[in-house]
Amino acid sequence: MSTTFTIDTATSRANPTPAPMRRLTVPKIRARKTDGVTQEPIVMLTAYTARQAQLLDPHCDMLLVGDSLGQVIYGLPSTVPVTMEMMSNHAAAVVRGSYHSVVVVDLPFGAYEMSPQHAFEAAARLLKESGAAAVKLEGGEAMAETVAFLSQRGIPVMGHIGLTPQAVNVLGGYAARGRSDAEAKKIVDDARALDEAGAFAVVIEGVIEPIAIAVTKAIACPTIGIGASAQCDGQVLVAEDMLGMFERVPRFVKKYGDIASTISDTAAQYAKEVRERSFPGPDQLYQPKD
């Protein structure tokens, strides 16, 4: 049983019914890449709630509780305002709703940059409060010391290079990275530094394809692409983007559904039936017993 506490499945909608499987582990994810080759690509999606985790978990190897929840759930303009409390609460919900995937939680902006010790305190808090298996942080060579510090103290770390949303104010926007020779070299160097520091995987976001392929070949740990290349060792997307919850999405998103239209059409049907007093009907009402 992988939940942090037992839920009464007779009374709760969010009843993560135990499944006959063992949760994947960070070492198993890391071991997917052997001698530079990943035979079975790693599947990763974001999740922010218990119910969402239940639906995605059987199909994924990892669930990322991303700080993208700031925009997707809270309507914030960027990931910068996201707090530790937000990340902890949503990560705990995802852990309770999943049984198979490795749950990774983002360290929010400001929680880890000050020092390795500061990062350890933040990461330890998130893992204790949520039950997640690993943390993710943004940055390359500048964060290598922190990645090593955490890894050596029992906290698995996933790196994140290329387009790093927490640094949007420095980058000046969300444009693809790696177009200049200097930037391309830095991305490869960043990946190598994180790999050598002990990261078990590295997300490559918004990087031109040749550089994403070069990074994947250059490091021993798996790469997880998002707007990078199908040749990465795995892929991740924001679930709401690929499900079609939003009209505007980044170029690298493929919409696999149109959930927004389904929700809108269903709400319209409900509103119509309420206004014409056809809902609730006999099947939804309680009648006196004879």
What residue ranges of the chain have pLDDT lower than 50? 1-6
C-alpha–C-alpha distance, residues 118 and 120, integer Å = 5
What is the number of other CB atoms lying within 10 angstroms of the CB of residue 261? Answer: 10
Tell me, what DSSP letter sits at residue 257?
A: -
Residue-level pLDDT at 2? 43
Q: State the greatest distance between any 2 C-alpha atoms of the chain, in Å, as a whole number.
A: 82
Residue-level pLDDT at 20? 54
Q: Which backbone phi and psi does 63 adopt, to 5 degrees?
A: -115, 130
Residue-level pLDDT at 174? 57
Residue-level pLDDT at 250? 87
Kindly list the distances between the CA atom of residue 220 and the CA atoms of 193, 203, 247, in Å, as whole numbers in the listed order.
11, 13, 37
What is the number of other CB atoms lying within 10 angstroms of the CB of residue 141? Answer: 15
Task: List, as residue ranges, the binding site.
Answer: 67-68, 106, 136, 138
26-260 domain in CATH 3.20.20.60?
Answer: yes
Could you list the active site residues? Answer: 205
Closest to 238 measured CA to CA, from 29, 97, 67 = 67
Sketch the domain layout of the chain as residue ranges.
26-260
Residue-level pLDDT at 286? 94
Q: Tokens for 199, please give them.
A: 């990261």
C-alpha–C-alpha distance, residues 242 and 260, integer Å = 11
Closest to 203 measured CA to CA, from 80, 87, 46 = 46
The answer to whether the Cα torsion of 84, 87, 93, 99 is positive or negative is: negative
Closest to 135 measured CA to CA, from 182, 215, 183, 199 = 199
For 65-69, which contacts have Cβ atoms below 8 Å and span 24 or more sequence positions? 65/90, 65/91, 65/94, 65/103, 65/104, 65/105, 65/106, 65/130, 65/132, 66/106, 66/136, 66/238, 67/106, 67/108, 67/109, 67/165, 67/166, 68/165, 68/238
Contact 216, 246 (CB under 8 A): no
Task: List, as residue ranges, the binding site for Mg(2+).
Answer: 67, 106, 138
Residue-level pLDDT at 165? 74
C-alpha–C-alpha distance, residues 209 and 227, integer Å = 8
Q: Tokens for 159, please give them.
A: 């790196």
